[in-house]
Amino acid sequence: MAVPGFQDLMLPFLQVCSDGKERTVMEIGETIANQLKLSDADLQELMASGQTKFYNRTAWVKSYFGKACLLDFPSRGRFKITQRGLDLLKATPPTIRVKTLCQFPEFAKFYKRDSQTLDGGEHHANVTAQDKGDAEPATPDEQIENAYQDLRSQLASNLLDTILKNPPSFFEKLVVDLLVAMGYGGSRKDAGQTLGKTGDGGIDGIIKEDKLGLDIIYLQAKRYAVDNVVPSREVRDFTGSLEGHGAQKGVLITTSSFTRDGIDFVKRLQQKKIVLINGEKLTQLMIDHNIGVSTTAIYTLKKIDLDYFDVD
């Protein structure tokens, strides 16, 4: 099963705490994971920040319960249920949601202030409205991640549009710039001399696999309109070109996409290694390696340094 939503973890979290024992996020997460029969793959699912999604959501449940005074924190990193938490369980709620916590004045005050800080005061109303339906409000970390992914997706789309407005020769230069930024080809000068120089057998160029030139990679760059899918025969022809040059490795890059037949054909190859890079992957690599993009702002997320406050 998929990792349960943020709010879906609230009731099992508090139920596990009902025995009054002190626990940590890791301990209670392991118990809940066993109860819900989550797989290793579920528990290893990562957010863009590198945190595991399950334990990030579990930690936010702990934080929200603390703001609602359902948990007490007797020592660093440890918590246990309060009388208010026990009273809430005695009411046998079918679920515990964000709107459930809003009945407690401490949480309502925190949540309203926190929501206004996040997005000008609209977030609290929106999440409460979503909570009345089937939608799952995201944790603050997930809100930031979702906004980041939305911006990145829009940037990728704009990148692809801009690439297609430039001539094919520019696309060839872009391919080399990207591969050099990724660590291939040695210097930009060396790589630039190889691209487009062979001019035969369906090969657009060659590039060093490493700075020492221990092996080379054959390239083909196809600047196609987004809806003009690269046919499987083009992939086969490229493979045949490698054969004619005695080459074992190739990269076929396009601004569009590949057919399922073409992708499956590459997967079945035994003696050769060919990587297919479609337009979506191309733009993501450009963003990751700062090709054709620039940084406009950097936001640093901070947390409390508990070591600073650990006074003997």
Q: What is the pLDDT of residues 274-292, one digit of tens each?
A: 999 999 999 999 999 999 9
Out of 98-107, 213-222, 282-291, pick the least confident: 213-222
Of 9-23, 113-127, 179-193, 221-235, which has the strongest mean pLDDT?
9-23
**Mean pLDDT over the full length of the chain:** 84
CA Rg value for the chain: 27
pLDDT value at 217 more than 60: yes
Spatial contact of 201 and 245, defined as CB atoms under 8 Å apart:
yes
Q: Is the pLDDT of residue 62 over 90?
A: yes
Which pLDDT belongs to residue 176? 85
CATH architecture of 163-288: 3-Layer(aba) Sandwich (3.40)
When pLDDT is cut at 50, 70 and 90, the band that residue 134 belongs to is very low
The pLDDT value recorded for residue 127 is 42
- Cα distances from 111 to residues 67, 68, 89, in angstroms, run 9, 10, 22
Q: Report pTM.
A: 0.71
pLDDT tier, 260 (very low <50, low <70, confident <90, very high otherwise):
very high
